[in-house]
Chain A
Amino acid sequence: AQRVTQPEKLLSVFKGAPVELKCNYSYSGSPELFWYVQYSRQRLQLLLRHISRESIKGFTADLNKGETSFHLKKPFAQEEDSAMYYCALSSTGTASKLTFGTGTRLQVTL
Chain B
Amino acid sequence: DTGVSQDPRHKITKRGQNVTFRCDPISEHNRLYWYRQTLGQGPEFLTYFQNEAQLEKSRLLSDRFSAERPKGSFSTLEIQRTEQGDSAMYLCASSPGTGGLIEQYFGPGTRLTVT
Contacts and interface: CB of A to CB of B under 8 A. Distances in A.
Contacts, number: 59
A43 to B, nearest CB: 5
Interface in A59-110: 86, 88, 90, 92-103
Interface stretch (B12-20, B71-79, B103-111): B103-111
Contact of B42 (A46, A49, A94, A100): A100
Given A43-B106, A86-B43, A95-B48, 7 more contacts: A43-B108, A44-B43, A49-B101, A93-B100, A96-B104, A98-B45, A103-B42
Contacts of B106: 43-45
- Which interface class (under 10, 10 to 19, 20 to 34, 35 or more) fits B? 20 to 34
Contacts of B109: 43
Contacts of A9: 40
Interface of B: 3-4, 31, 33, 35, 40-45, 48, 50, 55-56, 91, 95, 97, 100-109
